[in-house]
């Protein structure tokens, strides 16, 4: 996955299409460094204005914007609306739709695939492609539960899927 800085034109266009003037919001508070207050403000405003999930993550003191909207759109194109809503909630609970998520129990990516015995190369490959993660996760759900809504119901009952 390619991480993009908040000033990257696609994120800027996404924000501006939804009425958020990125230059105005970040003027004086900045995106990078340790200024968490400014980043928190921008995060809240972007989430409020766009209605989509925008994540701000901090790597080595540099704040980075990651939109999960493309993952939602891809998943939504493969499912009915009600099934998408179930998998949306399920994977938000599991990983916050973070393709780089790794749990303490060795579960990886958006669908939290268990990979304790997998090689480092296999884990790196899985984490490198969020769309492959989505396809794998939907296949797992179909095989194990029959549908995303059945998987969500199981998760609600048991606390896991």
Note down pLDDT in tens along the chain; length 161 residues. Answer: 333 344 445 555 655 555 544 444 343 333 333 444 444 544 444 444 444 544 555 556 655 556 888 999 999 999 999 999 999 999 999 999 999 999 999 999 999 999 999 999 999 999 999 999 999 999 999 999 999 999 999 999 999 99
List, in order, residues 6 or more apart from 118 with CB less than 8 Å away.
Answer: 126
Domain ranges of the chain: 9-67, 70-158
CA 146 to chain centre: 24
- Structure confidence at residue 67 (pLDDT): 80
Q: How many CA atoms lie within 13 A of 141 on its CB side?
A: 28
Q: Compute φ and ψ for 128, nearest 5 degrees.
A: -80, -15
pTM summary value:
0.63
- Structure confidence at residue 64 (pLDDT): 57
Pairwise CA distance, residues 53 & 45, whole Å? 11
- Structure confidence at residue 13 (pLDDT): 60
- Structure confidence at residue 35 (pLDDT): 41
- Give the 3-state secondary structure of residue 59: strand
- Structure confidence at residue 138 (pLDDT): 97
């Amino acid at each position: 996955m390619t991480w993009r800085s908040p000033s990257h034109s696609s994120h800027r266009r996404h924000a501006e299409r939804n009425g958020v003037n990125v230059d105005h919001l970040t003027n004086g508070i900045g995106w990078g460094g340790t200024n968490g207050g400014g980043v928190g403000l921008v995060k809240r405003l972007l989430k409020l204005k766009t209605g989509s999930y925008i994540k701000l993550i901090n790597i080595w003191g540099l704040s980075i914007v990651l939109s999960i909207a493309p993952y939602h759109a891809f998943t939504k194109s493969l499912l009915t609306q009600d099934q998408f809503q179930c998998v949306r909630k399920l994977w938000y609970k599991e990983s916050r739709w973070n393709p780089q998520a790794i749990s303490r129990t060795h579960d990886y990516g958006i669908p939290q695939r268990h990979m304790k015995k997998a090689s480092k190369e296999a884990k790196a490959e899985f984490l490198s492609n969020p769309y492959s993660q989505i396809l794998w996760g939907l296949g797992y759900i179909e095989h194990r539960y029959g549908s995303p809504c059945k998987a969500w119901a199981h998760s609600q009952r048991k606390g896991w899927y």
